[in-house]
Chains A and B, each alone.
Chain A
Amino acid sequence: MSASTPTRTTNVQQTALGPELHVRVGPVARALVRRSLVAITRVPSALVPILLMPVFFMIAFTGSYSAITNIPGFPTDNIFNWFVPYACVQGAAFAGIGTGFSTARDIETGFYDRLLLAPSSRASLILGPVGTSIVRSSFPFLTVLPLGLLLGADFPGVLGLLILAFTSATVSIMSGLWALGVVFRMQTQRSLGLVQVGIFATLFLSIGQVPLAVMRGWLHGAARVNPTTNLLRMARQGFLGGVTWELTWPGLVAAILVVSGLGLFAVSGFRKMEK
């Protein structure tokens, strides 16, 4: 039996509450960050790699390579001063993988459609996950740094600390944008392999493990042009001496260029996905 023909008519414009509402970027991005954090806290096992992997890397690097400070040209005789800031930046870079993973999962399960269906600005759909990356990057920062200082790293000074925090946040933005750009294009969790390869390669081919002066061959050439090298120099300066403008501005330029480039990569990926 079919339903009766409708008799009631209502004006479309009057019924909907939506047109009266003004959707702002900030609250939406914040809500998305909050959602990601809720998800992290509800699966405590997911926190373990986020918190412990950077700590492990710090211990493993400082333990295995403790003697490399004796190589002529090495800028410090304290291995912790070299690897603690690196482990913070590395943890921040891994934060982007987490962001990419949750976005890819949302796309696969269809939850992302819900976000796309909202009249909120598309910017919030990129700023939200990137904000999550920044928050995630604070976890390794808060575990690695105190432990590193306890184990023997020198206190980098307030300015040095702020610069390290700034660099970590910037790197987490970069890795988040990179992950989003890849995930928006491939729209599957399998894309995370590529995300990881990109992040690992960028870190490996930089001055993460040894300074340029100590490297030889092809790696020297790659690390010299890798913007991550400038960022690591900026991040480490408080630990290796004093904060100077000479070591800061190349890092800032690298940060601006890479964030802009990866920002475009993420936005164009988003547009491709929407087509």
Chain B
Amino acid sequence: MESPIEANGLRRSFGDIEAVCGVDLSVSQGEIYGFLGPNGAGKSTMVRMLTTLLKPSAGRARVAGFDVATEADEVRRRIGVALQDAAIDPLMTGNELLHLQATLHGLGRKEGKERGRELLDRVGLTDAGDRRVQTYSGGMRRRLDLAMSLLHQPAVLFLDEPTTGLDPSSRLNLWEEVRRLNTEGTTVFLTTQYLEEADELAHRVGIIDGGLIVREGTPAELKAAVGSPTLRIDVSPDQFGTANEVLGRFGEQRPAREGRLAIGLDKGASRLTDVVRALDEANVSVLHMELDAPSLDDVFAEATGRRLEGQAE
């Protein structure tokens, strides 16, 4: 079966500036694909091309089985897009916007109403349906945006920074909804500047920088590629030598403050029990132990040479 999102040598330039410089991408059916990148990396250009809002300068992309450039309408019938900043007309009510979206996608009046009601209920906005959007909170707008993008039951859902600017609890609600949609079979392409979000939701992550995908893989794979996790232990001074000798069997020594031992744990956290057993067998009593695994931020920093903006928020 064809991948729901497939791009080959996709390029887009604006004048002399090449925003996307030959991206190859394949997203599997039922997958949540996290697309990470700093501002200006080509993330939005890539999303706009995949969602038919921008024509590629070169290369090709197929979404839901159709070419984004030559069969744009067929693509549009099969995708849902929740846009960055939830561009929603503030003067309209939630119900009116859902009705408009239903008409735009060719749903009949009755069917549109039914689907609208169902989706408002699903995103918890039933009571707010007749209120103007200008009275909605940021989280409510995002949820309405999501409901609108789901109205025609899309096979592929594009979420462009869906939780930017939301408070932590609204963010968790939205994550839950995305997971639910995914378990129902929807393929999700998620752009985000929150590494935690990609880590929580995405099955695979692609990092774009300078218009190219510089890293791609599952979050675990990407983190493992950055290096092994660091294991640190504190022991009493008289057992320092013994402990050092035991740890040496499990990985290379890493710098640590005085009185502490640190190694890069080969093969990752799975060897932790072996380390504990070996220390016990050598009669070393451990005063403190910590395992510091690389984060996606480390992956990002290693791939792009800088930390991702907005991560501190």
- State if A and B touch, Cβ cutoff 8 Å: yes
Contact of A31 among B104, B132, B203 (CB under 8 A): B104
Is there a chain A Cβ closer than 8 Å to B92's Cβ? yes
Q: Contact between B202 and A110 (Cβ–Cβ < 8 Å)?
A: no
Q: Contact between A2 and B202 (Cβ–Cβ < 8 Å)?
A: yes
Instruction: Known contacts A6-B31, A16-B77; decide if A24 and B106 are in contact (CB<8 Å).
Output: yes
Provide 27 A-B residue pairs closer than 8 Å at the C-beta atoms, listed in order of the A residue: A2-B202, A2-B220, A3-B202, A5-B218, A6-B31, A7-B30, A9-B1, A10-B29, A12-B1, A12-B2, A18-B153, A23-B105, A28-B103, A28-B104, A32-B100, A35-B89, A39-B92, A42-B132, A111-B87, A111-B88, A114-B87, A114-B104, A116-B53, A118-B76, A119-B73, A120-B104, A275-B55
Binds A, one of B117-125, B181-189, B244-252, B275-283: B181-189
Q: Contact between A18 and B92 (Cβ–Cβ < 8 Å)?
A: no
Q: Contact between A120 and B106 (Cβ–Cβ < 8 Å)?
A: yes
Q: Contact between A17 and B185 (Cβ–Cβ < 8 Å)?
A: no
Within the complex, what minimum Cβ distance (angstroms) separates B289 from chain A? Answer: 20
Is there a chain B Cβ closer than 8 Å to A109's Cβ? yes
Q: What mask results when residues 71 to 85 of chain B are scored 1 for a CB within 8 Å of chain A, else 0?
A: 001101111010111
Residues of B17-32 at the interface with A, using a CB-CB cut-off of 8 Å, are 28-32
Q: Contact between A12 and B4 (Cβ–Cβ < 8 Å)?
A: yes
Q: Contact between A113 and B77 (Cβ–Cβ < 8 Å)?
A: no
Interface residues of B (CB under 8 A from A): 1-2, 4, 28-32, 51-53, 55, 64-65, 73-74, 76-79, 81, 83-85, 87-89, 91-92, 96, 99-101, 103-107, 132, 148, 152-156, 179, 182-183, 185-187, 199-203, 218-220
Chain B residues with CB under 8 Å of A111's CB are 87-89
Tell me the bound Cα distance from A113 to B132 in angstroms. Answer: 20
Contact of B87 among A1, A13, A110, A275 (CB under 8 A): A110
Is there a chain B Cβ closer than 8 Å to A45's Cβ? no
Q: Contact between A18 and B202 (Cβ–Cβ < 8 Å)?
A: no
Chain A residues with CB under 8 Å of B1's CB are 9, 11-12
Instruction: Known contacts A12-B156, A21-B152, A38-B92; decide if A3 and B78 are in contact (CB<8 Å).
Output: no
Is there a chain B Cβ closer than 8 Å to A216's Cβ? no
Within the complex, what minimum Cβ distance (angstroms) separates B15 from chain A? Answer: 13
Q: Contact between A12 and B64 (Cβ–Cβ < 8 Å)?
A: yes
Interface size of A by CB at 8 A reads 46
Chain B residues with CB under 8 Å of A119's CB are 73-74, 76-77, 105-106
Instruction: Known contacts A2-B219, A8-B183, A9-B1; decide if A15 and B91 are in contact (CB<8 Å).
Output: no
Contact of A118 among B85, B91, B104 (CB under 8 A): B104
Is there a chain B Cβ closer than 8 Å to A115's Cβ? yes
Tell me the bound Cα distance from A1 to B202 in angstroms. Answer: 10
Is there a chain B Cβ closer than 8 Å to A201's Cβ? no
Within the complex, what minimum Cβ distance (angstroms) separates A99 from chain B? Answer: 15
Q: Contact between B154 and A18 (Cβ–Cβ < 8 Å)?
A: yes
Residues of A86-132 at the interface with B, using a CB-CB cut-off of 8 Å, are 106, 109-111, 113-120
Tell me the bound Cα distance from A215 to B74 in angstroms. Answer: 57
Q: Contact between B89 and A39 (Cβ–Cβ < 8 Å)?
A: yes
Contact of B200 among A3, A13, A15 (CB under 8 A): A3
Is there a chain B Cβ closer than 8 Å to A246's Cβ? no
Within the complex, what minimum Cβ distance (angstroms) separates A14 from chain B? Answer: 8
Q: Contact between B105 and A2 (Cβ–Cβ < 8 Å)?
A: no
Tell me the bound Cα distance from A59 to B6 in angstroms. Answer: 64
Chain A residues with CB under 8 Å of B99's CB are 31
Tell me the bound Cα distance from A8 to B219 in angstroms. Answer: 20
Within the complex, what minimum Cβ distance (angstroms) separates B162 from chain A? Answer: 14
The CB with the most chain B CB atoms within 10 A, among A4, A42, A118, is that of: A118
Is there a chain B Cβ closer than 8 Å to A27's Cβ? yes
Contact of A9 among B30, B103, B104 (CB under 8 A): B30
Is there a chain B Cβ closer than 8 Å to A217's Cβ? no
Tell me the bound Cα distance from A11 to B91 in angstroms. Answer: 38
Rank and list the top 8 A-B pairs by shortest CB-CB distance, nearest first: A110-B87, A18-B77, A10-B185, A23-B106, A118-B104, A21-B106, A17-B153, A2-B219
Tell me the bound Cα distance from A256 to B117 in angstroms. Answer: 45
Tell me the bound Cα distance from A5 to B217 in angstroms. Answer: 12
Contact of A21 among B2, B83, B96, B105 (CB under 8 A): B105
Is there a chain B Cβ closer than 8 Å to A43's Cβ? yes
Chain A residues with CB under 8 Å of B92's CB are 35, 38-39
Quick one: closest A residue to B145, CB to CB? A114
